[in-house]
Every structure is written in C-alpha cells, then in structure tokens.
Amino acid sequence: MQEVDTGTNQEAETGNGAMSRRGFLQTVGGMGALAATSGLALNLLGRDADAAAVRPLPKSWDEEIDVVIIGSGFAGLSAAAEAASRGSSVVILEKMPIFGGNSIINGGGYNAWTDKLKLRQKLDRGDDSVELHVKDTLKGGDFYNDPELVRMMVEGSPVALDWMIDEGGLKLKEVLNRIGGHSAYRGHVTLDGTGRGFVYALKKIADRSGARMRLGTKVSWIWRKDPASPVLGVEVETRKGKRNIKVKQALIIASGGFGRDVKMRQMFNPSITAAFNCTNQPGATGEVIRFAQAIGADSLQLCFIQLYPTADPDSGTLDRYALYPSRSPGNGSVFVNKLGKRFVSELERRDNVARAEINTGMKRAFTVFGEKMIPKMTTMEEVNEGIAAGRVWKANTLAELAKQMDVPAAALEETVAKHNGYLKAGKDPEFNKPFTPQMMALEGPYYSVAQWPAVHHCMGGLRINALGQVIDIWGSPIPHLYAAGEVTGGVHGSNRLGANAGPDAVVFGRIAGANAAREKA
C-alpha cells in the first residue's frame, strides 16, 4: 500500500507542536502495550495514552459467533448470504427496528452492462461494455476512485444481478435507463421502483443460507487489544442491556454512511449544512466509522458527500416520483427553473445538476416529460398515483402545466420548442446535452414533478482492499475486519453516478462475506 504524505516532517517534531509520524507510531505502540498488559482495549480516539486506554476488555463473552455483520442493507445481506452459505454461523446486527437501511428506501436502480434477461437487446438500447462502465465511473468520480475497485464492481455487477434473479426471485421492470453521467443505457429497475425488491431478494438468499438477524441491536464498540491484534468482537446495546459478542472468524462492517449526522458532515464538508434535507433513513449516523477509526482503521475522502438533485422539495424524501428526473432524461425530458427555463444538461452528473439548481437562487426546479416517455421509465398506474398524491402534475397543454407549476407559460413553451428543435438537429447549443436515437420530442399530454437537492450519499468511508479487508492507518489489513457498501470509500471518487450504489454494495458485500468465511476461527 502506497504511503500517504501527510505533509508532516517524519523525522522530527514540527515547529508548531504537531507530532511527527515516528513519534505518533511510538505513542500508539505504547498505547498498544498499555492495553495489552492492563487488559484495556485499543482506543485511538483519545489524545494520549491515558485517555486512549479507558475501555477494559471483556473478561468473558456473552456469546460467540463466526461472522458478525453490522447493517442489514444491500452489503450486509449480501455478505451474510455468502458467509452463511459457506458454513459459518452468521448474525446480522441492525440497530433500527426494521431491516434494510437506506437500501430498502432507495430508488430501485442498479447499473449492469449486461444481464441474463438481455434487456439491452430486447429494448434496443444500444451498446455497452465493461470498459465503458469503468470509464464512466472513473470520469464521474473525477478520477479519485480506486481503479481496481471500480473494475471489480463493474465486472461483478451482472453476475450479482443474475444471482439475485436466480436465487432470490428478483423481478425487474422491462426498462433500461440512461442516468446522468453515464454514456449508455444500463440502469435496471425493480418491479416496484424501490430498493425493496433487491433487499427482499437478498434476505431470501441469506435466510435460506442460515443467516440470522437481530433488529434493535446497536453496536456500541468494536473490541481490539492492540495495533497488531485481530478484531476480537463487538459490544452491543440491547433491550436487556449491553452484551459482548466474540467474533470467531470476522466482523463485517456494512453500516452505511453518515448523511443524517449534521455535525459529522460538517466536520469534513462545512458546506453541507443543516439547511439541506436528507433522503437517508434516521439510522445513517456514522458512529461505526468512528468506532473503526478508534481501533486503527484508515478512512478516505470523507469530504465527498453527495446531494441528490431531485428529491421532494418539501420533505427531502426520495419517493418514487423523485426518481422520474433521474430516469427520464435518457428519454428526452427537460429540467426547468421557476422562470420556465433550462439551466443545465439533463444528463449531467448529480453533483453538477444539484449545483446548477442551487445557483439559480430559486428554491424549486422541475422535470417536464411527455406521456410517450412514461412506459420507458415507469407505469401509468404509478404516475396516476403521483397525480392523486399531488406530487405529479398533468396537463394537455404547456400553458395549463405552467399554471400548475407556477412558472411563466410563454417561457415554458419557448423552452420546450427550443429543446424539440435541438433534438431534431441532434445538437444542444445551450448545454451540450448528448442526444441519442432513443430520445423523443416533448409532446402532450405533459407531466411535471418538482425537485430540489437533499443530502443523499457519502462517497468516502473506510479504506478497503480488493478482498474487502479494512486497511489500517499504517497501510496493512486489520485482521478479521471487513467492510462493504456506503461505509467504505474509494469506489465512487468525488461523485457517485446514479444506480452505482447497488452494484457497489452487493458486489463487495459478497466479496467480504466469502473472504470472512475463509478466516480461521
């Protein structure tokens, strides 16, 4: 592992009183020795040896389990399925009263360059490849991504998708979307348009393999003796009080990001203030990342926090209708501001769309699409439910639609006419949107949905290697510790492309689970 230059003098104390790398290692070594000789746990969150060694190691364990997994989303369930299928006893610890985490409320999108259903060929959605998906992901993350991890995700994505179909009974819509930042149509969607389809398929596989789940069980510490020792177990809070679980083979962290923790967000990115709503479930608070750091885990790119550009403007939720702005641009929809004018290429990446919306200075933007586009992205039944709920507007004319949106009718009509002309000419002189043969002109009946950015995904997290092992601050794997999903960093770089979270979590969850089960007890 290449060392990261921290900018400090490694041979001497710096002039401002900061500790050198050598001094830091010596101090941590002393802390480890203190913990080992006194029965105290490793805790690097303290400022000195005395403060660091404040947690006594358990004198006995309440129970022993081969593989313990923190979190019950895509990554946790995938890891559980793989580890249990290899004969390990597996328990998933979920602090919330329901399982699924952010995964169960996500948009149900999953990028794969191919699939066993051959949707690309069936729907005539053009070409795609491993190389193109890798290229898009690296470019979308401004090349801050780890190329090895990106390739593993892309290559493993179709395999994992077919696995969920075959083993979990996953059902997909007969659509294939092109999402902002992608140069091909590769976005698969669950039948109900949410992450529930993937979660239920994965839970079915995990249950059948013998994995067990405990809801309402919050991890409150990770036990490790010193910087050279393996992870020993976890402390958990239950309704009956605190208990200590010994991990015989491995601990897998799949606890997700920290989008709901405003203080932690602002520690790394002060611009992500409390003024932004959040699409995440309430348990996305990041404490397990801090516990892992306390036992020596390295982290990276924690400042990269994504705003989902098209959440519900009022609640910040990622409901079914907030997904239309993501799915419809590949079919020819337009984004407009409160003046009825376009302000960005609809196929830009999420961070650029969110920034463009904020820069309009007018809270609330809109996606406008036509009725012919609906079968390409969802069902008419679902759209009608959105109309009844007041989330989707419908009109036979643009003037009628503009009145419902409270935007100038003449401006909206001009915007749509221009965009139709650009599509026909195959060139967008305003925002350089790439047109494809699959896109269609905007024609009535017309539909619209309102949108605004909300905190959505943490691209940074714990550093892992290709085996899913968590890497420590000295560049070595922490024995018996793995991680997968949003809790990790390095896969997405500075910006996650839409529908890449699913394959990231499932692919690396499977890798972590399989390798954890190979550990010797």
Q: How many CB atoms lie within 10 A of CB 228?
A: 15
Q: Collapsing DSSP states into helix, strand and coil, what is residue 319?
A: coil
Contact 481, 462 (CB under 8 A): no
Scored b (16 or more CB within 10 A) or e, 407-423 reads bebebbbebbebbbebb
Tokens of 271: 């611009």
Cα angle 122, 124, 126 (rounded to 5 degrees) comes to: 125
Separation CA 9–CA 22 (nearest Å)? 9
Contact 103, 110 (CB under 8 A): no
Q: Collapsing DSSP states into helix, strand and coil, what is residue 188?
A: strand
Q: Which residue has the tokens 């601050």?
A: 473
Comparing CA positions, the residue from 323, 277, 394 lying closest to residue 180 is 323
What are the residues whose beta carbons fall under 8 Å from the beta carbon of 259, sequence distance 6 or more? 265, 278, 279, 280, 284, 305, 455, 456, 457, 458
Separation CA 318–CA 316 (nearest Å)? 7
The question of whether 350 is a catalytic residue gets the answer yes
Among 349, 350, 391, 496, the one annotated catalytic: 350
Catalytic residue ranges: 350
